[in-house]
């Protein structure tokens, strides 16, 4: 192939500018990510989460005592498989209080959500 006149074959050094800029962008992303993680760690250390379950000693809610009493009453049933004994067990089981208990639990949860939003 014939070269145009006045053209000299110049050996140019390969440019590493693109590689350098790429490495700088990667380093910048890593540093910014590290700063973000460090700042969230610092904020979490200063403001611990409030979703900590109380221990059995700290939990002195009256609902716990009622629940224990309800379960102890439910375990007192006849071991007979006689139809009359089964009917007596069903009659002695108080299933109608569940709605009131569920409504009380729902009211407490709603109250907790309102307090959490404040």
pLDDT, tens digit, 9 for 90 and up, residues 39-79: 998 888 877 666 667 676 676 665 555 555 555 555 566 77
Global pTM?
0.33
DSSP 93: S
Q: Where are the domains of the chain?
A: 17-47, 77-117
CA angle 24, 29, 35 (to 5 degrees): 125
């Amino acid at each position: 192939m014939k070269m145009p006149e006045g053209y000299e074959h110049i050996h140019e050094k390969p440019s590493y500018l693109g590689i350098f800029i790429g490495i700088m962008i990667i380093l910048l992303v890593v540093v910014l990510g590290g700063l973000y993680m460090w700042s969230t760690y610092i904020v979490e250390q200063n403001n611990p989460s409030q979703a900590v379950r109380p221990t059995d000693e700290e939990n002195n809610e009256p609902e716990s005592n009622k629940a224990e009493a309800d379960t102890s009453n439910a375990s007192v049933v006849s071991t007979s498989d006689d139809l009359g004994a089964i009917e007596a067990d069903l009659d002695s089981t108080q299933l109608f209080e569940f709605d009131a208990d569920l409504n009380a639990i729902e009211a407490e949860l709603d109250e907790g959500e309102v307090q959490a939003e404040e």
